[in-house]
Amino acid sequence: MKRALITGLTGQDGSYIAEFLMAKGYDVTGLARRTSEEERERIRHIRDRITIVTGDLMDSSSLRAAIESSEPDEVYNIAAQSHVGASFEQPIATGEVTALGPLRLIEAVRQTGAPIRFYQASSSEMFGKVEETPQNEQTRFHPRSPYGVAKVYAHMATVNYRESYGMYAVGGILFNHESPRRPTQFVTRKVTDAVARIAIGLADHVDIGNIEARRDWGFAGDYVVAMWAMLQRDEPEDYVIGSGSTHSVAELCERAFAHVGIDWRAHVRSIPALHRPAEVDLLQADASKAKREIGWAPQVNFEAIVAMMVEADLARWREAIDRGAVTPKK
What CATH number does residue 263 fall under?
Answer: 3.90.25.10
Task: Give me the phi and psi of 285, to 5 degrees please.
Answer: -90, 145
Is 31 part of a structural domain of the chain? yes
Is 40 part of a structural domain of the chain? yes
Cβ(139)–Cβ(206) below 8 Å: no
Is 227 part of a structural domain of the chain? yes
- 123 with 96, same domain: the answer is yes
pLDDT of residue 38: 54
- 151 with 203, same domain: the answer is no
Quote the domain boundaries for residue 263: 187-215+246-282+301-322
pLDDT of residue 124: 97
pLDDT of residue 36: 44
- 126 with 199, same domain: the answer is no
- 58 with 146, same domain: the answer is yes
Task: Give me the phi and psi of 215, to 5 degrees please.
Answer: -135, 160
pLDDT of residue 330: 62
Q: pLDDT truncated to tens, each residue of the chain (330 aa)?
A: 999 999 999 999 999 999 999 999 999 999 988 764 556 788 888 888 999 999 999 999 999 999 999 999 999 999 998 889 899 999 999 999 999 999 999 999 999 999 999 999 999 999 999 999 999 999 999 999 999 999 999 999 999 999 999 999 999 999 999 999 999 999 999 999 999 999 999 999 999 999 999 999 999 999 999 999 999 999 999 999 999 999 999 999 999 999 999 999 999 999 999 888 998 999 999 999 999 999 999 999 999 999 999 999 999 999 999 999 999 976
- Of the residues 122, 123, 124, 243, only one is catalytic, namely 123
Structural domains of the chain, count: 2
pLDDT of residue 34: 78
- 126 with 275, same domain: the answer is no
CB-based contacts of 8, cutoff 8 Å, min separation 6: 14, 31, 77, 78, 79, 80, 121
- 75 with 39, same domain: the answer is yes
Is 265 part of a structural domain of the chain? yes
Element housing 27 (H / E): strand 27-32
Q: How many residues does the chain have?
A: 330
- 194 with 138, same domain: the answer is no
Nearest Cα residue to 109 out of 5, 180, 233: 5
- Of the residues 147, 153, 161, 239, only one is catalytic, namely 147
Angle ∠(221,81,88) on CA atoms, nearest 5: 125
Our answer to whether residue 147 is catalytic in this structure is yes
Angle ∠(130,265,325) on CA atoms, nearest 5: 100
pTM: 0.95
- 273 with 166, same domain: the answer is no
- 111 with 9, same domain: the answer is yes
Element housing 5 (H / E): strand 3-7
pLDDT of residue 259: 98
Is 294 part of a structural domain of the chain? no
Is 329 part of a structural domain of the chain? no
What CATH number does residue 34 fall under?
Answer: 3.40.50.720
- 109 with 206, same domain: the answer is no
pLDDT of residue 45: 87
Distance CA(39)–CA(56), nearest Å, equals 15
- 33 with 168, same domain: the answer is yes
- 198 with 223, same domain: the answer is no
Is 125 part of a structural domain of the chain? yes
Is 255 part of a structural domain of the chain? yes
Our answer to whether residue 19 is catalytic in this structure is no
- Of the residues 87, 119, 122, 125, only one is catalytic, namely 125
